[in-house]
Structure 1
Amino acid sequence: MRIDKFLKVSRIIKRRTIAQEACEKGRVLINGKVAKPGSVVKIGDMLELNFTNNATKYEVLEIKEHVKKEETTLMYRIVE
């Protein structure tokens, strides 16, 4: 699945266009490498989002095309 779509479906970022912009500005990393909006994310990948001096790391646990709001937290785990 594309990283911009994963961020939207998992509700880490609310809109796909914002996820695309974050990727284009180099604020999203997959396994330590800068991600483009079309970069593919797989189970086990480590994502890092850098916004305003705040970096949050996520581990991808599951990839689904459609998810209910209550199930989105099952798609990733926040890593400290």
Structure 2
Amino acid sequence: MTRTATHPPLDPWRFDAIAAGPEKLWGLPAIAAALGISIDKARRLARLPDCPIYRPDGGSYFAFRGELNAWLRSK
């Protein structure tokens, strides 16, 4: 008996969603690790107006992995 797959084909965006891990990244160390950069570089990126690294009211940094991936693809 054969089974047919009912899932759409695996594209880069679906792969990111499946393999990426948690969507919300808390703190610069987690963001830097997800991007493969230093914490200082992540801090500098967060200052760019179009970079999706957030720090509301001067609190902790956070980012959404999907937004970071989309932002990196646009560069």
Bucket of the pairwise TM-score, normalised by the shorter protein: 0.3 to 0.5
For normalisation by structure 2, the TM-score amounts to 0.39
Relative to total residues, which structure has the larger strand share, 1 or 2? 1
Q: Please tell me whether Structure 1 or Structure 2 has the larger radius of gyration of its CA atoms.
A: 2
